[in-house]
Structure 1
């Protein structure tokens, strides 16, 4: 049964089964991201694999060569790689040996290896310990993915791989104007809550900041926190939240200026207002004890209805599936209007591509690495990923016909309601990891009240200026 204002599963799949990201009212929304730019540094040459004439083996993979795959075992776990993508690779090359590693310590495990020249063929670079991709690119460690995007797709050899994915994949692949990164998933980052709790209490989602704080008072009287984020292994969740709130207030230009290292970008009105608003929420409705919790511990607290809103992405539903009680139903809430003059209306939501995959240019089997990614971008590989992780991929139409969970349905409905009001990604996370890491430190400091919102913005701007002036750091630019 469909109620007024709801969307059917068929409509959902038409919108988030990836076709909606290519054509129709949402066209270009996900592609409104970065374009790599030159300047301020240079990148080492990348490995480029010459394409062969064989559509079934366009990279000339040697079936006798083993393949090494390293996966970030976070919200998506790593069984999608071990039990699906790697098995598909073995089916294509019978008898091949694959070394699989699933870890949450990507940087800790791989930095010493990379320094020693021992590089995996496929790397899912994600999580709080992710490697600096711009630095890897500068050292020539990332293989050129242009041959992958120009290769025939597995499902239809008459089509290139680039024509089977949302355009944001190609736009976001670039570092220094080279296609070096594959973003594999479509995610929605916003405030997540328990729809069943709200229904049982008769609460409605707050649309204004006054309604948000009023709900905070109501929840506080019942011993429930309005909001919390993990201070350990997850403060970047709150950094994202502040950045997207700033875009809600001042428009996407706030994020574009930050990414482009524009002078005084961190001191923009929207940024200062966003930080001040969330610091005030923490002071009045938060609990500093959460600064000592990691993301899993904080997420369990939400499952126990000890907090209402949690700033995270759509991977949360799969990550907590085994712990989720029957009376908990994940749903997504847009950021409430912070001011009466917010440039983006209530309902604006962040939608982006993410979950980075790269191929090691100096690995033992870069040809196999490219083929592995091509298999991931097949409908079988993408559909299987969605079934295992309950998250969408960037492959057009791969989710058609799947029975999707409540949280993902909620995110799709929110995206539908947002229309053109899509908050873009903040790209400096991948471009200038030092700046992003500094931001994750500073967000804890300001949220704890140890510095003011003005000091936070000043500190971030000073760090951005240092990076801008550092000629050793390759600079990137985006126009939208």
Structure 2
């Protein structure tokens, strides 16, 4: 998964998913307490070398490096077949120890707590760690020197200067960058263009047209809209938040991220929740509540489900199960009201997929150099070829012939023009709020469509986080 979304994330998430994207690590307080006291007796001896023009991060050229990659929608070939060989081209004596997992928190959190983390970690998926807690505990290395270092293959520019606007900021906490959000994800509603063309269906721009389309799809014996409640309800959270932003601008999401009192009971959120709750009541298959994302996505590929919310990682994630009769395409979420402040063409697109260097690893500088390799134009181009996903490296995929899904995503980005918005960050900042939003989205979509209850539940969860002095707060401008 990026989500989507965002990812998915939805590729996800978050993404924005991030995003992304969702956090299922253990509660932040206990995690922080464990981290704060971990590895304190015997500090890890860390590899280092002499800084130079050829070695701007001062790595030890012979020091080993351990990386852990999330095995989800993006796969792992970009790490094994692109990034690691590129790294070893420049640093042939550095042995890379590689592993992949779908259970990031389960696998990595005990090692962070013990003071023996891998050097570079891809924090993603439904078992993603609470990254805000990781930053607070001092477990993530400051990446300022990485972004200030020269690009590996764009002459005259720093790493930061080769990235799309906002890429560094999205991994910044209290003024310092701690994460590389690598994939650039387009979030929206995905469908089979061939199925739509066959039936004469078109992507709707208005809510009335969306409801009419859902009615036609249902009459054809196909589930109109759905998502997986078991592990991907954050895909639905992103849809609701996207609609809220289009109704009231991205300021609605900034207020939510900033834990502003009344942010979740804002009329834009209420209207979005009401509209989508009605879709859940009338057009969703209630059995999806107990299904995982791969199960629902398979039904989508089999044309048993018409419209699926996710991020642009989806096409690659489903590559093995996509029949010749299916051609991925994406539409923006339709306008909910006739007075939405953002146009129907507005789209949520953001950097997602968190990668970070462990501050207490054996080779944090080597991890940063690995990230510098990933942020080269060559690595980014090959990543897009392998994953059908864009990266935050500006222009890396220019001129590349891409897949139908990514072509569609690029098309909606172009039509959106300046109306592209990043989305929200609370899912990576506040684990408890992320978990609450997942539960509330499932309640809204599968159990009655009570929009006011959704808003009130999330407002209470938000203010509980705001009042909890043990949780580090972050501010978004």
Normalised TM-score (structure 2): 0.88
Partner of 2:228: 230
1:68-107 matches, cutoff 5 A? 68-107=66-105
Does 1:209 find its partner at 2:207? yes
Determine helix, strand or coil for the equivalent of 2:97: strand
Per-residue deviation at 1:292?
1.4
1:210-289 matches, cutoff 5 A? 210-289=208-287
Residues 305-359 of structure 1: CA distance to partner in whole angstroms, max 9, x if unpaired?
1111100000001111111111111111111121111111111111111111100
Partner of 1:347: 345
Per-residue deviation at 1:293?
1.1
Partner of 1:333: 331
Consecutive unaligned residues in structure 2, runs of 5 or more = 1-31, 37-43
Partner of 1:181: 179
Does 1:392 find its partner at 2:384? no
1:31-46 matches, cutoff 5 A? none
Per-residue deviation at 1:176?
1.8
- Residue pair 1:209, 1:338 contacting (<8 A) in 2 also: yes
Per-residue deviation at 1:432?
1.1
CA change 1:334–1:125 in 2 (3 A) is: same
Does 1:130 find its partner at 2:128? yes
Per-residue deviation at 1:267?
0.2
Between the aligned partners of 1:332 and 1:183, the Cα distance in structure 2 is 22
How many residues end up aligned between the 2 structures? 438
- Residue pair 2:315, 2:388 contacting (<8 A) in 1 also: yes
Per-residue deviation at 1:49?
10
Between the aligned partners of 2:52 and 2:186, the Cα distance in structure 1 is 38
Between the aligned partners of 1:79 and 1:232, the Cα distance in structure 2 is 27
Per-residue deviation at 1:401?
2.3
Does 1:357 find its partner at 2:352? no
Partner of 1:306: 304
| From 170, 173, 192, the counterpart of 1:172 | 170
Residues 122-177 of structure 1: CA distance to partner in whole angstroms, max 9, x if unpaired?
01111111111111111110101000011111114532111111121121121121
- Residue pair 1:303, 1:328 contacting (<8 A) in 2 also: yes
- Residue pair 1:51, 1:151 contacting (<8 A) in 2 also: no
| From 412, 430, 435, the counterpart of 2:410 | 412
Per-residue deviation at 1:51?
9.5
Between the aligned partners of 1:258 and 1:328, the Cα distance in structure 2 is 37
Per-residue deviation at 1:114?
1.1
| From 193, 198, 215, the counterpart of 1:200 | 198
- Residue pair 1:207, 1:337 contacting (<8 A) in 2 also: yes
Determine helix, strand or coil for the equivalent of 2:202: coil
- Residue pair 2:241, 2:423 contacting (<8 A) in 1 also: no
1:147-162 matches, cutoff 5 A? 147-162=145-160
Determine helix, strand or coil for the equivalent of 1:322: helix
Partner of 1:366: 364
Between the aligned partners of 2:179 and 2:81, the Cα distance in structure 1 is 23
Does 1:140 find its partner at 2:156? no
CA change 1:470–1:50 in 2 (3 A) is: farther
Per-residue deviation at 1:186?
0.9
Residues 58-107 of structure 1: CA distance to partner in whole angstroms, max 9, x if unpaired?
12221222111011111101111112111112222213221111111000
Runs of 4+ aligned residues of structure 1 deviating over 4 Å after TM superposition are 47-53
Between the aligned partners of 1:405 and 1:152, the Cα distance in structure 2 is 32
Per-residue deviation at 1:269?
0.7
Per-residue deviation at 1:372?
0.1
Consecutive unaligned residues in structure 1, runs of 5 or more = 1-40
- Residue pair 2:49, 2:60 contacting (<8 A) in 1 also: no
